[in-house]
Chain A
Amino acid sequence: DAGVTQSPTHLIKTRGQQVTLRCSPKSGHDTVSWYQQALGQGPQFIFQYYEEEERQRGNFPDRFSGHQFPNYSSELNVNALLLGDSALYLCASSSGQPNQPQHFGDGTRLSIL
């Protein structure tokens, strides 16, 4: 039973470019959440997808967008990259209930030069 998988593992981009990160949820999970973890911080909630719709959104600009596919996998897109977007991006899947734990992937390390 595969857990949450994320790709790529590492990515280097330059300012102004666009990036797409991918996530496949744990089998049986229909809800995917994305987090940004900057150095010295806890994971910051970006948004959550359920039934192919953005259900909740954190305090991130519109440059951050996402998508969920019918097979529950998800993409995170970031446009017009800034140096401050350098971080570890974590994907987590769950059944969507607040009393259920989230299962995390290993993350994508994004570096902006």
Chain B
Amino acid sequence: ILNVEQSPQSLHVQEGDSTNFTCSFPSSNFYALHWYRWETAKSPEALFVMTLNGDEKKKGRISATLNTKEGYSYLYIKGSQPEDSATYLCAANTDKLIFGTGTRLQVFP
């Protein structure tokens, strides 16, 4: 059984702070690592899908890295804004998508 773990569980930061979260997963039978952003009352929105060890992806102020050998991925947000407030979910794709419990980010103005 694949366990995907995310930390921290929640995070409160001031506007302008940079922040990062961790997603860890067993490195066997790995196909891809997904990151999703889930705002309250909306549907989860895909941020990144990464497959190769050493992958780095960027979308505006948000970036992610992947280490498949040690089984972790980092998501970074540079200069957090209140609109970044959301739950950030990672999911490891073996033959099915297994989600972590998410990191809930709150950015205060």
| Chain A interface residues toward B at CB < 8 A | 3-4, 33, 35, 40-45, 48, 56, 58, 90, 92, 98-107
Contacts and interface: CB of A to CB of B under 8 A. Distances in A.
Interface size class of B (residues with CB under 8 A): 20 to 34
Contact of B99 (A4, A42, A98, A99): A42
B43 interface: yes
> From DSSP, what is the main secondary structure of chain B's interface residues?
strand
Given A42-B102, A98-B31, A98-B32, A104 B44 contact: yes
Contacts of B102: 42
Given A44-B99, A98-B31, A98-B32, A103 B89 contact: no
Interface centre among B44, B100, B101 (most CB of A within 10 A): B44
